[in-house]
């Protein structure tokens, strides 16, 4: 059993997504320590709690800005000493963690590049330089999609694309009869739903235009609002913001939607994304309409599993087409065939094999 130190830009309980899916599986064979981004505290200290088989570490720093990275380095060293960790792997989701972990000497260094973080709003200016250092330090690199892989494949000798996968059994529950959640049951149909982080990637103007054009359609939006002002979100009687929901609750909401939306704006922050929600929506048995995100067009759009709408007019036209359908049995069979071999379990197995094949002593892989 190996120790895995994971350094992430995401809080464990923020949204259940790629890190949680993968690391809970790695935790069945390893001891996983998940380091969240440092936060402000009254002094320099850390807290450790067990959840989902993971040791989640929250590091706190006093507001004194001096020697921040040196103090974090000392805090990381203390954690390793307190937990009696001497041999370990390092797994990075953010290159920013190198500022206080570059001194560590892991047996294997893994970089899971799930997004192009440098394109996100408020990205630190030093992120690109630190990512270049991480590429040099890493023994193996994964990318969160094929578009991101194409952009980074020449930067490392051992890089592999692993796009968003799926926990099928979890979302198949949305095909069964379940009660409509209390905060959704009084919303009229047809319902067009979206869940995910609502930030600079979310297409606010598209939602505004469609909701205005079709006042009899109702739009259910689930997820936390971050990095944008809530005042900028479109407001209308047919737009319903239900806030964040637990991962376990999502199928109950989706069961009572008519159409699912991948409603991302086309900008630099979405150029390389591979939305996890796409296969999740499909597994739930929902027709999906997406903006032209590259990793949705290929493979889902090309396989005629997802509508690709490049304007409000085309989005409305596809929705009208779906709302008149009486039967989706053939389409659903096609979806199930397409998703048959897709699972986070399979992704874990492939990643684990590649990691185990890394030969640290020679910096080569087999």
Confidence (pLDDT) at 118: 67
Asked whether the CA dihedral 241, 247, 249, 251 is positive or negative, the reply is positive
CATH 3.40.50.2000 segments of the chain: 3-165+344-365, 168-339
Are 106 and 21 a contacting pair, CB within 8 Å?
no
DSSP 36: P
pLDDT tens digits, 25-80: 999 999 999 999 999 998 999 999 999 999 999 999 998 777 889 999 999 999 99
Cis check for the bond before 190: say yes or no (omega within 30 of 0): yes
Confidence (pLDDT) at 365: 44
As a whole number, mean pLDDT of residues 349-354 equals 96
pLDDT tens digits, 302-349: 999 999 999 999 999 999 999 999 889 999 999 999 999 999 999 999
What is the CATH number assigned to the segment(s) 168-339? Answer: 3.40.50.2000
Are 20 and 13 a contacting pair, CB within 8 Å?
no
Confidence (pLDDT) at 343: 96
pLDDT tens digits, 229-267: 999 999 999 999 999 999 999 999 999 999 999 999 998
Q: Using the predicted structure, report yes or no on whether residue 114 has a pLDDT greater than 60.
A: yes
Q: At a CB cut-off of 8 Å and minimum separation 6, what does 170 contact?
A: 247, 251
Q: At a CB cut-off of 8 Å and minimum separation 6, what does 302 contact?
A: none
| Poorest-pLDDT segment among 63-72, 137-146, 217-226, 354-363 | 354-363
As a whole-number percent, the residues of the chain with pLDDT over 90 amount to 87
Q: Using the predicted structure, report yes or no on whether residue 360 has a pLDDT greater than 60.
A: no
- pTM assigned to the model: 0.90
State in words which class domain 3-165+344-365 has.
alpha beta
As a whole number, mean pLDDT of residues 80-97 equals 96
Distance CA 76, CA 245 (A): 32
């Amino acid at each position: 059993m190996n120790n895995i130190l994971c350094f992430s830009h995401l809080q464990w309980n923020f949204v259940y997504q790629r890190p949680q899916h993968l690391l809970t599986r790695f935790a069945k064979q390893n001891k996983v320590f998940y380091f969240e981004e440092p936060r402000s505290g009254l002094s320099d200290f850390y807290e450790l709690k067990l959840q989902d088989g993971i040791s989640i570490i929250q590091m706190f720093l006093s507001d004194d800005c001096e020697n921040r990275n040196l103090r974090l380095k000392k805090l990381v060293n203390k954690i390793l000493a307190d937990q009696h960790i001497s041999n370990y792997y390092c797994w990075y989701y953010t290159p920013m963690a190198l500022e206080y972990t570059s001194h560590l000497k892991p047996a294997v260094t893994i970089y899971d590049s799930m997004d192009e973080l440098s394109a996100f709003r408020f990205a630190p200016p030093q992120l690109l330089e630190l990512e270049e250092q991480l590429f040099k330090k890493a023994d193996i690199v994964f990318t969160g999609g094929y578009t991101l892989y194409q952009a980074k494949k020449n930067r490392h000798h051992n890089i592999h694309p692993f796009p968003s996968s799926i926990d099928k059994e979890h979302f198949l529950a949305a095909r069964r009869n379940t009660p409509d959640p209390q905060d959704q049951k009084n919303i009229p149909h047809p319902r067009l739903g979206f869940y995910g982080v609502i930030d600079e990637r979310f297409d606010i103007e598209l939602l505004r235009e469609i909701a205005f054009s079709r006042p009899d359609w109702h739009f259910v939006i689930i997820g936390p609002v971050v990095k944008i002002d809530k005042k900028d979100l479109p407001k209308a009687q047919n737009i319903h913001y239900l806030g964040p929901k637990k991962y376990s609750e999502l199928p109950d909401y989706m069961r009572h939607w008519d159409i699912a939306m991948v409603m991302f704006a086309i900008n630099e922050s979405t150029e390389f994304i591979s939305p996890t929600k796409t296969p999740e929506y499909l597994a739930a048995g929902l027709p999906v309409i997406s903006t032209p995100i590259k990793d949705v067009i290929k493979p889902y759009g090309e396989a005629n599993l997802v509508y690709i709408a490049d304007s409000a007019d085309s989005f409305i036209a596809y929705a009208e087409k779906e709302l008149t359908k009486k039967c989706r049995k053939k389409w659903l069979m096609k979806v199930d065939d397409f998703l048959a071999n897709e699972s986070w379990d399979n992704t874990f197995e492939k990643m684990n094999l590649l990691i185990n094949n890394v030969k640290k002593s020679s910096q080569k892989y087999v």
